[in-house]
Amino acid sequence: MSDQARIDEANNTPPAVTEKHYGLFLGWIEDRTGLISRLNAVAGHRVPRRSRWAFVFGSATLFAFILQVVTGITLAMFFEPSSATAYQSLQRISTPGTAEAVVRGLHYFGASLMVVMMGIHLIRVYLTAAYKYPREMQWISGVVMLFLVLAMAFTGQTLRWDQTAVWSVVVGAEQASRFPWLGPILARFLMAGDTLNAATLSRLYALHTYWFPALLFGLIGLHVFLVLRNGISEPPVPGRRVDPRTYKQQYQARVRRDGVPFWPDAAWRDTVFGSALILLTVFLAWKFGAPALSKPPDPSLINADPKPDWYLIWYFSILALWPYGITNLMIILAPLLAIAGLILLPLVSNKGERAPSRRPWAIGIVIVAIGMIFSLTLLGYREPWLPRFAAPPLTAQQVNSTVPSVVRGAALFHDQSCILCHRIDGQGGIRGPNLSEIGERLTRDQLSWRIQNGAASMPPYAGVLTTDQLRDLVNFLETRH
Amino acid sequence: MSDTHVSPETAGQDETREPSRRKLLIGLSLGSGALAAAAAGYPVAKAVLDPAFQKGGRGGWQRIGTLADFPTGKTVLVTFIRPGARSYGGDIKKDTAYVTRRPGDWLALHNVCMHLGCPVRHQEGSGLYFCPCHGGVYDAEGVNVAGPPRIPLQRLGVRVQGQEVQLQSAAMPLPTLTWPGGES
Ligand code: FES
């Protein structure tokens, strides 16, 4: 290799072109655009040898993004972003057996794919400390994209303009309104006014299909440009510390010594893995289709139980579970801290060890984060905080007593809404303790004290129940063992 | 490789020959660009941002039924139209309230949970309001008594004109930050 070629390669500039490499047609293209040599240079740029399967998640996210762009544009050709007709157009799009329904399924599963791949990519980069010098901007642009993709997920779910979508907009606006000073402005920006209105959906549609994707395109361009400029990070080697003074030289030297051309030696894994995932998405879309729409977007239908899609359920659980005293503060503070922490990470720690084995706390943080997301997701599906509005009264067999006061107490257990949150013999809610054997655990006095005073999650019944009713209820609960 | 025929030397001379002229050209370019961007950007920004500054609050009085629809002691779910909502939006402009006629007065509670805005459900027997989203509970007066909500349900005005019962509509309540311990 000549010196000039080596310098060219080190700078990622195309080597001087000799036209005879290309045929008549490609030669013309190359002469007029210079694109072919540049693409060749990109394809042939050397990457570290040991970048194996762990490195495919970033490109898989890109594959998912491209799928989302294509399917999203297709859906936009059928979807009517008008709050009066959107629901009908969605029903039409969702008609089983149509190609549109499959495309909607692709867009739905593609969103899941993108979020999951992005999450794994984030974890991989964090675990291998690939965000350290000189790749700080790659990390920061990635963090911005992370939140943009979550914003895409949120706005996308609201475009499914059904009952759940409408209440999701409200929940989103109410969270935003907690922001100090700016809050109400943010909330009204999101709703396009001081309340839900005809322009709300148009605004969400414009954010989801124009603004956010435009930003994403720009950021993806930056992200990929930086990956090419700074090179793919090497798999970490314990003891090989990142030193900003020498890193670039050493990296170049190593890659020149024993690197491989990106295409196809490294890229085949990206292509195969990404394509396999797209195929899986097609299979899921074709097999299961898009999620069913809930009731129409009519806020006067109040029997709603809005929930986000599965990959955001964990956050929904957090909203129910913050200690009540600080919940309003944390709604704002927690996301801000998360954003600040992620963005500052490569700025405060950009050198030193990269190997996970030398950074046990990084492994710990990832395990705790995944564990929390996993358990919060499970909890989100159980929804223990959801009052079981449909719980029927206890049957005579369950009450198992003919003492009039006990029978009256059992009726009160249902009529006074206790059953919404407490379970007896498998019937009722699970917010509060199961009371099937409460008679063994609490005395009469303790029972009436608890009923009258309530708790953080339980309303006090002093003033709701008469003395007689309280007595009957306690009589009934006492018989539970 | 170079597309132009200016040699580096003459280019250098050009750059040094007329520094004031170059400054003028830079100023002209950036200035005209900024002016054009501002002229087109102002109406754009105004259109996008105006709704964010729309004032919420109370709207006009709306008929929600007659006296016969509201037996004393019973809590009735009524639908009203939010003020300011563009009228062509279909059902989206609808909102609900729980109206209770009591001996001597009326209570109307805007059906927007003050935690994160979900619609709550009134329970006949206990008279409590339960929120399905995160399990907030309000008592018969609309006071938050359990779960995440930190402030009571918002009250709406009710008035009787002859036989007709009217409700004062309101925009969506947007609770601002309440500091821990600072809630009512
Ligand atoms: S919205 Fe009512 S408890 Fe959260």
Q: Span A375-379, mean pLDDT?
A: 97
Give the number of other CB atoms < 10 A from CB of residue B127.
Answer: 17
DSSP string, A279-293: HHHHHHHHHH-SPPP
pLDDT higher than threshold 60 for residue B8: no
Cα angle A27, A29, A32; round to 5: 105
Span from the CA of A282 to the centroid of ligand 1 (angstroms): 37
User: How does residue B156 score in pLDDT terms, banded at 50, 70 and 90?
Assistant: very high
Q: What is the mean pLDDT of residues A47-70?
A: 91
User: Quick check: bond before A134 cis, omega within 30?
Assistant: yes
Question: What does the DSSP assignment read for A237-289?
Answer: -TT--B-TTTHHHHHHHHHHHH-EEIIIIIHHHHHHHHHHHHHHHHHHHHHH-
CA distance A192 to chain B (A): 5
Chain B positions touching A417 (Cβ under 8 A) are 123, 125-126, 128, 130
CB of B149 sitting under 6 A from ligand 1: yes
β B158-161/A427-428 pair status: unpaired
Site to probe by mutation for ligand 1, drawn from B110, B111, B112, B116 as the one with most ligand atoms within 8 Å of Cβ, is: B116
* 145-184 of A, contacting B, C-beta below 8 A: 166-167, 170-171, 173-175, 177-180, 183-184
Q: Is A326 on the interface with B (CB under 8 A)?
A: yes
Residue in A110, A116, A155 with CA at minimum distance from that of residue A290: A110
Lowest mean pLDDT among A5-9, A37-41, A317-321, B169-173: A5-9
Half-sphere exposure of B103 (CA within 13 A, CB side): 0
Residue B19: which pLDDT band, with cuts at 50, 70 and 90? confident
Whose CA is closest to B98, among A463, A302, A415, A171? A302
- pLDDT for residue B26 is more than 50: yes
Neighbouring-strand partners of residue A462: A465
ipTM of predicted complex? 0.89
pLDDT for residue B184 is more than 70: no
| CB distance B136 to ligand 1 below 6 Å | yes
Sorted by sequence, the CB contacts under 8 Å of residue A348 that are 6+ apart come out as none
pLDDT tens sequence across A35-49: 999 999 999 999 998
Q: Is B172 on the interface with A (CB under 8 A)?
A: yes
Q: Could you say which residues from 76 to 105 on chain A have a Cβ atom under 8 Å away from some Cβ of chain B?
A: 83-85
A1: pLDDT strictly greater than 90: no
Task: Please give the structure tokens belonging to residue A117.
Answer: 């791949």
Q: Buried (b) or exposed (e) across A79-115, using 16+ Cβ within 10 A?
A: bbbbbeebbebbeebbeeeeebbbbbbbbbbbbbbbb
Average confidence score pLDDT of chain A: 92
From the CB of B113, is ligand 1 less than 6 Å away?
yes
Instruction: For residues A152-177, give the mean pLDDT.
Output: 95
Q: Does ligand 1 lie within 6 Å of residue B118's CB atom?
A: yes
Edge-to-edge strands, sheet with B121-122: B121-122, B129-130, B137-138, B144-146
pLDDT above 80 for B13: no
**Higher pLDDT pick, A1 / A240:** A240
Tell me whether residues B132 and A304 touch, CB distance under 8 A.
yes
CA atoms within 13 A of residue A332's CA, in its CB half-sphere: 21
Residue B90's pLDDT band (cuts 50, 70, 90): confident
Pick from B134, B145, B150 the residue to mutate for probing ligand 1's pocket: most ligand atoms within 8 Å of its CB. Answer: B134
The DSSP bridge partners found for residue B98 are B77, B109
Residues B111, B128 contacting (CB under 8 angstroms): no
Å between A247 CA and nearest CA of chain B: 32
Nearest-CA distance B22 → chain A (Å) = 31
Q: Please, are residues A418 and A469 in contact by the beta-carbon 8 Å criterion?
A: no
d(CA B138, CA B99): 15
Residues of chain A above pLDDT 70, percent: 95
Going by pLDDT thresholds of 50, 70 and 90, the confidence category of residue B179 is confident
Give the position of tokens 């503060």: A329
| H and E: helices and strands count for chain A | 22, 4
- With contacts defined as CB-CB under 8 Å, which chain B residues touch A37? none
* Residue of chain B whose alpha carbon sits nearest to that of A164: B118
State how far the alpha carbon of A349 is from the alpha carbons of A136, A242, A459, B114, in Å. 10, 11, 48, 41
- For chain B, report the end-to-end CA distance as a whole number of angstroms: 74
Tell me what the mean pLDDT of segment A263-280 comes to.
95
Question: Whole-model pTM?
Answer: 0.90
Q: Outline where A128-237 has alpha helix (H).
A: 136-159, 163-176, 183-191, 198-206, 212-230
| Nearest alpha carbon to residue B123 among A85, A228, A412 | A412
Q: Which residue has the higher pLDDT, B13 or A296?
A: A296
Cβ contact, residue pair A167, B117, below 8 Å: yes
User: What's the token pair of residue A443?
Assistant: 């005395």
pLDDT at B16: 65
The one-letter amino acid code at A458 reads M
Q: How many A from CA of A389 to the centre of ligand 1?
A: 15
- The type of residue at B31 is G
DSSP-assigned beta bridge partners for residue B155: B109
- Ligand 1 center from residue A212 Cα (angstroms): 28
Nearest CA to ligand 1 atom 1: B116
Token pair belonging to A125: 């980069």
Q: Which residue has the tokens 């003033």?
A: A463
Give the pair of three-digit tokens for residue A279. Answer: 């195929």
Residue from the list A178, A193, A298 with its beta carbon closest to the beta carbon of B177:
A178
Q: In chain B, what percentage of residues exceed pLDDT 70? A: 87
Does residue B181 surpass a pLDDT of 70? Answer: no
Output the CA A334–ligand 1 centroid distance in Å: 18
CB pair distance less than 8 Å for B174 and A460 = no
Rounded to the nearest angstrom, the minimum Cα separation between A64 and chain B is 30
From chain B, the residues in CB contact with A189 under 8 A are 49, 51-52
Q: Is the CB of B147 under 6 A from ligand 1?
A: yes
Residue A210 DSSP one-character state: I
Mean pLDDT of A80-87: 94
pLDDT tens per residue across span A408-467: 999 999 999 999 999 999 999 999 999 999 999 999 999 999 999 999 999 999 999 999
Cα A106 to the center of its chain, rounded Å: 17
Distance between CA atoms of residues A94 and A437, nearest Å: 48
What is residue B4's three-state secondary structure? Answer: coil
Interval A317-323 mean pLDDT = 91
Q: Is the CB of B116 under 6 A from ligand 1?
A: yes
B151 touches chain A (CB under 8 A): no
- Give the minimum alpha-carbon distance from B31 to chain A in angstroms, rounded to a whole number: 25
